[in-house]
Amino acid sequence: MGRIPIREILDGSLEGRRVEVRGWVYRLRRLGGKVFVVVRDGSGSIIQCVLDKVTAEKFADEVDRLGIEASVVVEGVVRSDPRAPGGYEVSVSRLEVVGESHNFPIKGGEGIDYLLDNRHLWIRSRRLTNVFRVKDTVLRALREFYRKDGWWEVTPPILTMSAVEGGATLFPVDFFGKKAYLSQSAQFYLEVMIFSLEKVWAITTSFRAERSRTRRHLYEYTHFEAEAAWYDMYDMMRVVEDSVKYIVGKVLEERSGELEFLGRNIRPLEIAADEKYPVITYEEAIEILQRKGMNVKWGDDLGADEERVLTSEFETPFFVVKFPKELKAFYMKEDPDDPRVVLGFDLLAPEGYGEVVGGSEREDDEEKLVSRIRAEGFDLGDYEWYLDLRRYGSVPHSGFGLGVERLVMWIAGLDHIRDATPFPRFRDRLYP
């Protein structure tokens, strides 16, 4: 029989069969002439492979070359053994060391700084392996959903000439002697493209020079964004809700072993996959927070603390809509019924996680847009092309951005966003 992923062996149906396992040495122990090699592979699982005395002697040269994280090929018969991790082990008849590894730098118990310095090796940990398997499914489900639903994938640039989300978080770059910026959001390019394709989406890397270091901010993150002509804010919220439900459903269906390894309580995810997401206004959010004893008033921003308190009111993800204009980006459409607020929405994940999606209906009135751009202190000349969209066949439209690592953080139940991305950047560390 050919090469088998460890996770499949642990499913149980291969008992008594001869298998080949390829992987890396996770643990190594010798006991009374026997050798116990626990092997991990890309399936995020481990299996104990046992060389009895005779086999250990036969493969003595190979056994001598074993070390933690050596890559190996092991052949043997699957046996059930309640003492083995996962309940099965491989009774080895052949061992081959492919790549030796001696004195692997991570031994367990190291601090976070050391681990981040060795991220290229730490990435092999079972925990991160399981997280990135969940992330793959999140990304795949996102793409699946939007393909099925008749949207077009497009490829906006990362090098940009103007701010989308305010000047404070821009990363400048030198573009042949001119100042350019790393993209904060592909939104404006997506807005351009709805005039031909109508419903578009993109996955790009967004950059934010965030001032404060928090557990839910990255300087570089994976941004899923969608934009559609003829959609009002509520149309777009429905798409957001349906797609998040679809993703959570897919992860529950396909990544239950990974969630279990990560210790994730799946009940909140089951609820999120099924139940309707409530909608509250910003004003109602403020009232809830005041009732809960928080010192906030209309006009204050909802930070991580406020969001955490709000999430304790809901079992599912929920929307907060209609924020004061001053709190939101200039492109959000003014509410025709209340000019103090904009038709913007955030989707907050429950269990304390908070914002995972931000979106809005877009301002399509050229004059209002111009005065908002001026109020931001931006140079109008930088936005002429954006204003053109309001001059030539303007159309009501809406869009949103979803932080993929934020979503993975919640779904996988992580307490820090850095583990939802393979190579997180920090101010004092641009490595590896």
Tokens representing 266 are 């799946």
Q: State the binding partner of 162 from ligand 4AD, Mg ion, none, CB within 5 to 8 A by kind.
A: none
Cβ–Cβ under 8 Å, residues 403 and 205: no
Task: Find how far residue 36's CA is from the centre of its chain.
Answer: 36
CB of 165 to Mg ion, least distance (A): 8
Q: State the binding partner of 245 from ligand 4AD, Mg ion, none, CB within 5 to 8 A by kind.
A: none
Comparing CA positions, the residue from 165, 167, 162, 166 lying closest to residue 180 is 162
The residue (of 37 and 389) whose beta carbon lies closer to ligand 4AD is 389
CB of 230 to Mg ion, least distance (A): 24
Q: State the binding partner of 41 from ligand 4AD, Mg ion, none, CB within 5 to 8 A by kind.
A: none
CB of 281 to Mg ion, least distance (A): 16
CB of 333 to ligand 4AD, least distance (A): 12
Backbone CA torsion sign across 329, 334, 339, 342:
negative
Q: State the binding partner of 325 from ligand 4AD, Mg ion, none, CB within 5 to 8 A by kind.
A: none
CB of 227 to ligand 4AD, least distance (A): 7
Task: Find how far residue 321's CA is from the centre of its chain.
Answer: 23
CB of 341 to ligand 4AD, least distance (A): 16
Site size for Mg ion (CB under 5 A) = 1
Q: State the binding partner of 221 from Mg ion, ligand 4AD, none, CB within 5 to 8 A by kind.
A: ligand 4AD
Q: State the binding partner of 250 from Mg ion, ligand 4AD, none, CB within 5 to 8 A by kind.
A: none
The residue (of 6 and 408) whose beta carbon lies closer to Mg ion is 408
Kind of pairing, strands 334-335 and 338-342?
antiparallel
Phi-psi label, residue 150: left if phi above 0, alpha if psi -120 to 50, beta otherwise: left
Our separate counts of H helices and E strands in the chain read 15, 18
* Strand, helix or coil for residue 268: helix
The residue (of 137 and 222) whose beta carbon lies closer to ligand 4AD is 222
Contacts for 218 with CB less than 8 Å, ≥ 6 apart: 208, 405, 417, 418, 421, 424, 425
The residue (of 286 and 357) whose beta carbon lies closer to ligand 4AD is 357
Q: State the binding partner of 241 from ligand 4AD, Mg ion, none, CB within 5 to 8 A by kind.
A: none
Strands across the sheet containing 397-403: 152-153, 199-207, 220-229, 397-403, 354-361, 344-349, 318-321, 279-281
Q: Does the protein bind Mg ion through residue 156 (CB under 5 A)?
A: no
Peptide bond into 432 cis (omega under 30): yes
Q: Dihedral angle at the C-alpha atoms of 279, 282, 283, 288, nearest 10 degrees?
A: 70
Comparing CA positions, the residue from 400, 407, 403 lying closest to residue 199 is 400
Specify the residue for token string 């492109």.
331
The residue (of 164 and 389) whose beta carbon lies closer to Mg ion is 164
The residue (of 90 and 408) whose beta carbon lies closer to ligand 4AD is 408
Residue 31's φ and ψ, nearest 5 degrees, are -150, 110
75's enclosing H/E stretch is strand 71-80
Residue 158's φ and ψ, nearest 5 degrees, are -100, -30
The residue (of 268 and 403) whose beta carbon lies closer to ligand 4AD is 403
Q: State the binding partner of 198 from ligand 4AD, Mg ion, none, CB within 5 to 8 A by kind.
A: none
The residue (of 358 and 413) whose beta carbon lies closer to Mg ion is 358
CB of 358 to ligand 4AD, least distance (A): 3
Interface residues toward ligand 4AD, by CB under 6 A: 164-165, 185, 187, 208, 210, 217-218, 221, 223, 225, 355-359, 399-401, 403, 405-406
Q: Does the protein bind Mg ion through residue 268 (CB under 5 A)?
A: no
CB of 150 to Mg ion, least distance (A): 26
CB of 128 to ligand 4AD, least distance (A): 18
CB of 76 to ligand 4AD, least distance (A): 45
The residue (of 65 and 208) whose beta carbon lies closer to ligand 4AD is 208
Task: List binders of Mg ion among 309-368 (CB under 5 A).
Answer: 358
Comparing CA positions, the residue from 164, 170, 160 lying closest to residue 208 is 170
The residue (of 44 and 358) whose beta carbon lies closer to Mg ion is 358
Which residues contact Mg ion (rule: CB under 5 A)? 358
